[in-house]
Chain A
Amino acid sequence: DTGVSQDPRHKITKRGQNVTFRCDPISEHNRLYWYRQTLGQGPEFLTYFQNEAQLEKSRLLSDRFSAERPKGSFSTLEIQRTEQGDSAMYLCASSLLSGGLTDTQYFGPGTRLTVL
């Protein structure tokens, strides 16, 4: 099975530290999305890429958050100077945009971040 994978699955860090998460999409997918989900809430869209281009980043929560997808394959999400409010599940999804029509997003298992 070559679904969306995320690494690590769990991350515990101390306030003020930087963290980086990785997402590997389904291999033929050209779109990659990042979301944050806190307990009892729906996923909150953060940003997305089409190939290498980051097409939407206005919803990144602050300038402490940044994402990259340098070769149009895997992506990383970095949070600098973490705060306790950053504790959440970070979800990655991928899809194949074809012919201008959006396709279904398939989600990874998520990375659970705990900031102490």
Chain B
Amino acid sequence: AQKVTQAQTEISVVEKEDVTLDCVYETRDTTYYLFWYKQPPSGELVFLIRRNSFDEQNEISGRYSWNFQKSTSSFNFTITASQVVDSAVYFCLHAGGTSYGKLTFGQGTILTVHP
């Protein structure tokens, strides 16, 4: 069975600091997808990034970047120059199984960015 662990329960930073959110997963699937979502105080989950297991190229998109390491089953997410509006709960999602229908979220990391 899949398992997703976000060991950081809460992170607090000051505006403009860089912050990295950790995600470690367990899976028996050879192919799978990984996602990061943000849940602001309004409650609606917002898609941020996704990565498939067969492409380990790490990318940068604006202030967001991610580091996918299949060998260590980690999919870490970095926000550069954090802003107060980045304050939210961040979730890592693993999609595996037949037709990628087995879906497992991590417990979430609460990020607070102080002005």
Q: Which A residues lie at the B interface, using CB under 8 A? A: 33, 35, 40-45, 48, 50, 55-56, 89, 91, 93, 97, 100-102, 104-110
Contacts and interface: CB of A to CB of B under 8 A. Distances in A.
Interface residues of B, number: 25
Contacts of B47: 104-107
A70 B46 CA distance: 27
A91 B50 CA distance: 20
Contacts of A104: 35, 47, 50
Contacts of B100: 102
Interface of B: 4, 33, 35, 37, 43-47, 50, 52, 91, 93, 95, 98-108
Contact of A50 (B37, B91, B99): B99
Given A42-B108, A104-B50, A55 B101 contact: yes
